[in-house]
Structure 1
Amino acid sequence: MDRTIIIGSRGSKLALWQAEYAKRKLADKGVNAEIKIIKTQGDKIQHLSFDKMEGKGFFTKELEEALLDKKIDLAVHSHKDLQTVSPKGLIIAGVSERANPSELLLIRKDAFKKDATLWLKDNAIVGTSAPRRKSQLLFFRNDLEIRDLRGNVQTRMQKLTDGKYDAILLAAAGLERLGITPETLIVKQLDPEYFIPAPAQGVLAYQIREEDLELQHFIQQIEDKASALITKLERELLKSIEGGCQIPAGIYCKSENNRYHLWSSLSNDAETTPKRIYLNFNDTSEFNADTITKQLKSKSRGKIFISRKLEKSSLFKKITEYNGYQITDKSFVDFSPIQFSLDNIECDWMFFTSKRAVDYFFKNPASQIFVKNKKIAAIGKSTALRIENEGHDVDFIGTQIRNTDIAESFEEKNRGEIILFPGAVNRSSKIIQLLHNSNDCKLLNIYENEPIEDPENMEDMDVLVFTSSLNARTYFKKHKAANHQKIVAIGKPTANTIEGFDVKVNAVAAVHTELALADALFSLELQN
């Protein structure tokens, strides 16, 4: 290319990093470029939150006008800031690879509470101006006080350091791109499947004039194709919702094991409980944004049974009841602790396969001393959080749906180890069977789990949600599923148990948590 490309950028350090990134990518293809700084409405107005600002495109409008006026040739945007429809004459010619899509919660040390949801003290003050973040924060912790927070990354962090907030939320990609490590703060990364990010978060968009075919050719050469496909799905759903960054919508998609997994969250406003849907599919032709939007915007109805006595703070209970479901919660298994000794037990790893195992194990006074210098593994994120609340780091967390995949992931780095599995007397763990060939697996019985003899027939329920194989086995030994009922399982082993009774499983949670169960439950509405 003979001409020098003019890249338009906002003036913040992060925006300039993004522009320099695009400049380097183009240079690799033999294209010369220089950067021109342009101020946007979002930069000029710092005293209002996004939902109180008029119009759309707070961080993009002036850049787009400069493109149309031919003052610049390329605008590099945080893709999440862009409207879903480009102005006439402009196109998104390509996107970057995706950086970390997660949110980071930056917490002052005096506001940190290790055993609390989101690790925040009671009534903590959290800074954010994004309605999506406000809605999800209040869903997880309705005692929080949310205050608006504007400014660039450094300004926001300084306000936190100055004590104006107890914690703030920032996109992980921004801090990583700037190379910032907040040494005086506690930093917690929020799983994007748990705290759902903005559509296309972590992705850069390359916007040009539609007529500039020469530049489009080079942008296509630097585009990340995998990121482009995932981003397209997320933004299709956002377009269907008819929202931008001022709408309380979270959308996150990933491709794993030749399947697409998509999480979405939408609330009426920043103060109301969201509705969430998780779905997975093999081919993008199975993805229908309008159908998902319809269900996200509609109230649910029906009677739900879940085979677990829910805690008062249960997220499953909160989100399902708010969205219109009637919940019956009851376990078909009786649990009771048994005495156990840790004397003369040697192991390299402790592997916890349930939250209940964590609770019963740490009731033993000797447990805190025993776990010192031991590596700890958890079957899933919910179990890992319970371990962390006991004050211990978790060295391995299973993130896959199938126990086979979790075992393979663990075995990649751990062979010939002694692994101790605290758990129930009456258990049949696939994980233990899978790891037995490569490691020395030992069982430690710490509680009884006895099925009740006569489980109640839940034939009047619309959906049966099973939280363990034992609960499912106990129920289906006595009762059949009614023709109108749909079935949700917490994981693949539970689903396999149910299917062993010739019962169809309609949805399986992505991970072993109550919130993932709720996400799967709401996905049933797409099957109607």
Structure 2
Amino acid sequence: MPESLIIGTRGSELALWQARRIQSLLSEKGISARLEIIKTQGDQIQNLPLSKLEGKGFFTRELEEALLDGRIDLAVHSMKDLPTDLPAGLKLVAVPERESPADRFLIHRDAADPSQPFGFRTGARVGTSSNRRIDQLRYHRPDAQAVPIRGNVPTRVQKLRDGVVDVLIMAAAGLNRLDLDLNDLIVVEPDLTVWVPAPAQGALAIECRDPDDRIQGILADLNSAAISTLVSVEREFLKLTGGGCHAAVGALAMPTGRRMVLQTFFENRYLAVGGEDPGQVPARALALHQKLNEPSAETVWLVRNHEDVADLTRLLEPSGRVIWQQPAIRIRYEDRKNLIMRATRDADESDLILFTSHNAVFWTATRLPVFIRERQVLAIGPATARAARDAGFENVLLSSVGNTRGLVTEWELLPLKDVKKVFYPVSAMGDTDWIQAEPMKGIEFRKSVVYWPEALELPDPLPVTPDVMVVYSASAVPVLSPVIKAMTHPIRLVSIGPKTTAALREQEIRVDYEALYPSVDEILTGILGS
């Protein structure tokens, strides 16, 4: 083994921080290493936006050439800069750690406007050369002006201070690693489902020659299997889209119990797609994106209120589909003072609040004291989790199993510690037998019935002739059954959850697709027939 390994790195402050970090990890294992600074095309050409440069690997190609030439033993990269296809003779051998994957808006105080999305004024000049960031900026803030900006992290921040731009979009990872003083600026970090980062953003990557058993053996111990799995899913989605590391593609993989959810931004569309097999999620995500691009004249009846299906409607309407939002039930909420007082006590004394619907979130947020929002929350499904966060609950854990019976199988996999008491606000129609299951033994569930469904009268005749119908709740089936049976035309019926499916089949109504999870991607799969 050589006395000292040679680590190839770019010369920017951030790149040197990352290389020194790997140098330190190697030193902890008794392995010495020195740094070799190599200039890349991206470093040398500073007067053009990255989108104007030809090819891929603007910040990695020269490092890879040095590896192949034997001038260095390993190269350290920001993984988001690394092309998905590596040159022959090289291998990605370790993904040791990942900082926050988020983007941040750095806002000059003169350009601040808290009333606007992301907190900056109308018409602001926003510094970014990233196609992904430019497309998302146009999506959320079409009034803003994207201004190309290059340079290392401190240089770009100084340009913001000097007034070259009003706002700067930066990766949180670089800001955190360099520990820059940003007290004179306003910093806004958008939600990761609202503004999706680049695939593998925040992750470090170590590349070496292949074969090179000696070096690979040393570096393999630095790999984090968990992080490697997540970034591999993100990079696979990028690869399937045909884009390079500077393409207008966002992807972030998030484990949620037994499932992995991949949040994507592609072709000006946000879509979260989940699955129990991480290897299948990227292809499924791309297939749904492609299916949504296909024109259709179908009429889709979503048996739900408009505000409950806004995301689904926004995804379906551009294809030409007619969306009819008509619920079959409405929700009545409990307002008895003694129940609210008891629920306040139970929630305050509990270690966890379990929300299985946005209705339970709404009741808890509007009836119980504000301090209850400090409790840890477990929310079933992304819509429920988002409702909890929007309502001000500070510590929300997402379970994407889709229903309470699925939660039984996932419970022990969730990062829950010392949970002995659970506050559980439910519907009068809710299934609570599951809390007696074996994994729940020893946990005290403090159940409160806080809302119940009430039948609505549907228009007669219906104002549309639906081709597809999505039934969300077993409670709606008694109202819908005579309407469905009276239909004389073919209809594709999508049911949400096993309880709803069972209620429909009891009425001898055929279910064409059962969405096991109440997530947009599962419902889309049924609607699109994919």
TM, length-normalised to structure 1: 0.75
Aligned to 1:190: 191
One-letter amino acid of the counterpart of residue 148, structure 1 = P
Q: Contact 2:18/2:76 (CA < 8 Å) preserved in 1? A: yes
Q: Contact 2:73/2:208 (CA < 8 Å) preserved in 1? A: yes
Q: Using the TM superposition, give the Cα deviation of residue 81 of structure 1 relative to its aligned residue in structure 2, in angstroms.
A: 1.0
Q: Contact 1:106/1:167 (CA < 8 Å) preserved in 2? A: yes
Match of 2:277 among 247, 264, 282: 282
Q: Using the TM superposition, give the Cα deviation of residue 244 of structure 1 relative to its aligned residue in structure 2, in angstroms.
A: 0.8
Aligned to 2:304: 308
Aligned to 2:469: 464
Change beyond 3 A, Cα 1:372–1:264: closer
Counterpart-to-counterpart distance in 2, 1:504 and 1:313? 20
Aligned to 2:6: 6
Q: Which deviates further from its counterpart, 48-57 or 348-357?
A: 348-357
Aligned to 1:349: 347
Q: Contact 2:96/2:222 (CA < 8 Å) preserved in 1? A: no
Counterpart-to-counterpart distance in 2, 1:87 and 1:459? 56
Aligned to 1:331: 327
One-letter amino acid of the counterpart of residue 220, structure 1 = A
The percentage of counterpart residues that share the same residue type is 28
Aligned to 1:21: 21
Mapping for residues 10-159 of structure 1, pairs under 5 Å: 10-88=10-88, 90-100=89-99, 102-106=101-105, 108=107, 111=112, 113=114, 126-159=126-159
Match of 2:492 among 478, 481, 485: 485
Mapping for residues 242-391 of structure 1, pairs under 5 Å: 242-254=242-254, 257-267=257-267, 273-274=268-269, 276=271, 278-282=273-277, 284=279, 286=280, 289=283, 293=286, 296-297=289-290, 299-302=293-296, 303=298, 304-310=300-306, 314-334=310-330, 346-347=344-345, 349=347, 354-355=357-358, 370-372=369-371, 375=374, 377=377, 379=379, 382=383
1:214-235 residue CA offsets vs partner (Å, 9 max, x unmatched): 3233233433344444444433
Change beyond 3 A, Cα 1:282–1:495: farther
Q: Using the TM superposition, give the Cα deviation of residue 319 of structure 1 relative to its aligned residue in structure 2, in angstroms.
A: 2.7
Counterpart-to-counterpart distance in 2, 1:358 and 1:283? 30
1:402-454 residue CA offsets vs partner (Å, 9 max, x unmatched): 4544995697455447x484x87x55375996899614444455xx7422244
Aligned to 1:475: 480
Q: Using the TM superposition, give the Cα deviation of residue 11 of structure 1 relative to its aligned residue in structure 2, in angstroms.
A: 1.8
Change beyond 3 A, Cα 1:28–1:325: farther
Give the secondary structure class of the aligned counterpart of 2:154: helix
Q: Which deviates further from its counterpart, 478-487 or 91-100?
A: 478-487
Q: Using the TM superposition, give the Cα deviation of residue 94 of structure 1 relative to its aligned residue in structure 2, in angstroms.
A: 0.8
Q: Contact 2:98/2:204 (CA < 8 Å) preserved in 1? A: no
Q: Using the TM superposition, give the Cα deviation of residue 92 of structure 1 relative to its aligned residue in structure 2, in angstroms.
A: 2.0
Give the secondary structure class of the aligned counterpart of 2:444: coil
One-letter amino acid of the counterpart of residue 133, structure 2 = R
Q: Contact 1:277/1:523 (CA < 8 Å) preserved in 2? A: no
One-letter amino acid of the counterpart of residue 485, structure 1 = R
1:25-49 residue CA offsets vs partner (Å, 9 max, x unmatched): 3345544311012222223334443
One-letter amino acid of the counterpart of residue 347, structure 2 = W
Counterpart-to-counterpart distance in 2, 1:256 and 1:74? 34
Change beyond 3 A, Cα 1:154–1:427: farther
Give the secondary structure class of the aligned counterpart of 1:349: helix
One-letter amino acid of the counterpart of residue 326, structure 1 = V
Residues paired across the two proteins, number? 501
Q: Contact 2:8/2:75 (CA < 8 Å) preserved in 1? A: yes
Give the secondary structure class of the aligned counterpart of 2:136: helix
Counterpart-to-counterpart distance in 2, 1:451 and 1:440? 28
Counterpart-to-counterpart distance in 2, 1:497 and 1:181? 59
Q: Using the TM superposition, give the Cα deviation of residue 152 of structure 1 relative to its aligned residue in structure 2, in angstroms.
A: 2.9
Change beyond 3 A, Cα 1:142–1:25: same
Counterpart-to-counterpart distance in 2, 1:295 and 1:214? 43
Q: Using the TM superposition, give the Cα deviation of residue 96 of structure 1 relative to its aligned residue in structure 2, in angstroms.
A: 1.2
Give the secondary structure class of the aligned counterpart of 1:347: helix
Q: Contact 2:104/2:172 (CA < 8 Å) preserved in 1? A: no
Q: Contact 1:499/1:505 (CA < 8 Å) preserved in 2? A: no
TM, length-normalised to structure 2: 0.75
Q: Contact 2:51/2:131 (CA < 8 Å) preserved in 1? A: yes
Q: Contact 2:435/2:445 (CA < 8 Å) preserved in 1? A: no
Counterpart-to-counterpart distance in 2, 1:261 and 1:359? 25
Change beyond 3 A, Cα 1:200–1:385: closer
Q: Using the TM superposition, give the Cα deviation of residue 71 of structure 1 relative to its aligned residue in structure 2, in angstroms.
A: 2.9
Counterpart-to-counterpart distance in 2, 1:431 and 1:170? 48
Computed over aligned residues only, the root mean square deviation of the Cα atoms, in angstroms, reads 4.5
Change beyond 3 A, Cα 1:21–1:427: same
Counterpart-to-counterpart distance in 2, 1:171 and 1:293? 25
Change beyond 3 A, Cα 1:52–1:317: farther
Counterpart-to-counterpart distance in 1, 2:148 and 2:433? 46
Q: Contact 2:126/2:144 (CA < 8 Å) preserved in 1? A: yes
1:489-522 residue CA offsets vs partner (Å, 9 max, x unmatched): 3x7776776677663544455xx6xxx51x3345
Counterpart-to-counterpart distance in 2, 1:281 and 1:416? 29
One-letter amino acid of the counterpart of residue 520, structure 1 = E
Counterpart-to-counterpart distance in 2, 1:356 and 1:166? 40
Aligned to 1:428: 430
Change beyond 3 A, Cα 1:412–1:112: farther
Counterpart-to-counterpart distance in 2, 1:253 and 1:334? 35
Change beyond 3 A, Cα 1:17–1:318: same
Q: Which deviates further from its counterpart, 381-390 or 320-329?
A: 381-390
Counterpart-to-counterpart distance in 2, 1:194 and 1:472? 34
One-letter amino acid of the counterpart of residue 19, structure 1 = A
Change beyond 3 A, Cα 1:226–1:128: same
Higher helix share: 2
Q: Using the TM superposition, give the Cα deviation of residue 389 of structure 1 relative to its aligned residue in structure 2, in angstroms.
A: 5.5
Counterpart-to-counterpart distance in 2, 1:124 and 1:431? 55
